[in-house]
Structure 1
């Protein structure tokens, strides 16, 4: 345990973890000041932008010798999800280390580790005398855990981002319980739909026609049947991952005024994560068809409807993939490319037409993203710095 207490990189990581940048209503100032100190320790310039008030984007710049070449972004987010302290065996923002070298804190896996690992890798490269050809931007953004709408989504719209001339980006991947790293090359689309069912109201003792409840029942059953079909696809093909199918979940139902009154309205909300193989036009048509079959009188509101974004190519046409694969091969890493089953800030950069891969060098570790007692092994953290050192070295030579 003492060896971890005296390790400079571990100390930096733990300092970052102790900043309670937890939702809701985060004050990012402590993160900004911490990152400014890290930039100063590397003798690198840092800028802080506010595309949205109180939502800082921190940009640390490692200037390349060929500034006209497109740049590389190493992205991470500063925010973390809420905690339930009574469910933790260590205080969630203490960054305690136990005898096994496990560092306990919210954000160890998702994803403060990645942000400081980038910096640790750059520190090693600089110490070795390495000079980067391409400019590297290490970006730290807000609000990814609540959708990134006031973080990366707004940042990519700015003139500052355009001037950065980004050619490629790395972002977060996922923790792996095995010795196989996950590599995200695409993400499912986030869709959310709110349906308002309108119908006949009256006394609860009657057989009223065309009620909101009947319509609700019909449409919920259709969504459930579709959901079951996707589960069946997964069950029949063990080569598939969750990101290869479409998930649909009923997340909210509201309505009704009294137990003996048939209400005129019900409302239901569905969370949907659409497979990149799904025909989204046909799927929307199918949903609208279900609403008509239910009897009509249903108001449809797609409160979230992200556009289709092309997957990042993994062939010779993408020189960044070639470089990344060379790094993996040199390090003898087992890597499985998959579609991200959730959503990260990658989708906003990929939406600009820029290739992005999501990768977190965390293997042989229990998957505890958003869970209680989230931790990362100190050894795994330091190994991750070496992995990024090799990756960055290859990427900037593209």
Structure 2
């Protein structure tokens, strides 16, 4: 197709309209997204509900496609409405213009993460309904708020509520990450996320003195231990080509605080670490190791978990998961080369799996630079339309299990 044909394609028009809604964090006004999605539901002649799991300002839009056997556990096709902040001066084009260049690249915040997936679901269902198809299981399209800031007032609360329980969900599809080669990534698990604040108490006094047991000494000891462990994980990743970033534990120092004056040894220093724990690591043993390092440093160190997610079982890639083989076979029938991976960051699938519901993360994007959260985020029009064709196969594969 030419650029002119892409511009006139109805599905591309819908995608670009959604991208032009600046649902950017923080303090998102979701009203324009809600109205857009209501219109899409009406165009498909599907019922739509707007629920507020936590706050009136945090809506979740839920579109229902009734199945022929609604007593069976349902399928959810999840996406989030919010996008991360932008630095307009770093963009070649207005990040909310959805400009399409001569090569069919559509530039916009959310083009990869993940408004594309949200409207590709709609495009696939539009085509399936037009063909006369009706799923065996009821299919819900869920558009949730605040995923980009952790989902605490979005999917986390939705899953806890009566509305979600009434949906009787059996399986979920959600976002993945684009692939830079010909393969497609499918994510079946996520690492365990901790935000750990360490508070180092020590001897205070004049900066000219070599005081014992200072907060700085203790911080230095623990930091060295953390960085040695971090280096070991980087070496594993470099030396074993079978490993992805999601297969090792990531430790990063993200915040430092303390001190009042250049010549005063402070009584307290604070450091925050972002830790993503690999599935192969015993989280209890890992926490004990950190506490042991704190004792070795001289004690007087407080551990404060700003976030301490529990270990969540990965989605099974075997016959115990009835959706596994149909999903895998559909990819094979499409001729797609899939890599089944652990997601390196976090998505709303965490809350779904925490509720013991199998979930896959998948974005039908390959041969594309990974630009989520980056400047000049884009998706090619042909890649977008091919993604609709992929979902036309995947949705019936899981909905007819």
Q: What residue is the counterpart of 1:248 in the other structure? A: 251
By how many angstroms is 1:302 displaced? 1.1
Correspondences of 1:77-226 after superposition (within 5 Å):
77-226=80-229
By how many angstroms is 1:112 displaced? 0.1
Q: What residue is the counterpart of 2:279 in the other structure? A: 276
Q: Which runs of 5+ in 2 are unaligned?
A: none
By how many angstroms is 1:141 displaced? 0.4
Correspondences of 1:1-398 after superposition (within 5 Å):
1-53=3-55, 54-398=57-401
By how many angstroms is 1:132 displaced? 1.1
Q: Over residues 315-362 of structure 1, what are the superposed CA-to-partner deviations in whole Å (9 max), with x where a residue is unaligned? A: 122120111011101101000000000000000001000000000000
Q: Normalising by the residue count of structure 1, what TM-score does the alignment of the two structures yield?
A: 0.99
By how many angstroms is 1:188 displaced? 0.5
1:35 and 1:330 map into 2 onto residues whose CA distance is: 31
1:256 and 1:394 map into 2 onto residues whose CA distance is: 59
Structure 1 vs Structure 2 CA RMSD: 0.6
By how many angstroms is 1:393 displaced? 1.2
Q: Which runs of 5+ in 1 are unaligned?
A: none
By how many angstroms is 1:286 displaced? 0.3
2:369 and 2:350 map into 1 onto residues whose CA distance is: 26
Q: Normalising by the residue count of structure 2, what TM-score does the alignment of the two structures yield?
A: 0.99
Q: Secondary structure of 2:200's match? A: strand
**Runs ≥4 in structure 1, deviation > 6 angstroms?**
none
Q: Over residues 270-309 of structure 1, what are the superposed CA-to-partner deviations in whole Å (9 max), with x where a residue is unaligned? A: 0000001101110000000011011111111111111111
1:13 and 1:272 map into 2 onto residues whose CA distance is: 35
Q: Secondary structure of 2:187's match? A: strand
Q: Secondary structure of 2:160's match? A: coil
By how many angstroms is 1:233 displaced? 0.8
User: Which is further off, 238-247 or 314-323?
Assistant: 314-323
1:250 and 1:275 map into 2 onto residues whose CA distance is: 17
1:163 and 1:359 map into 2 onto residues whose CA distance is: 25
1:269 and 1:279 map into 2 onto residues whose CA distance is: 21
1:150 and 1:98 map into 2 onto residues whose CA distance is: 37
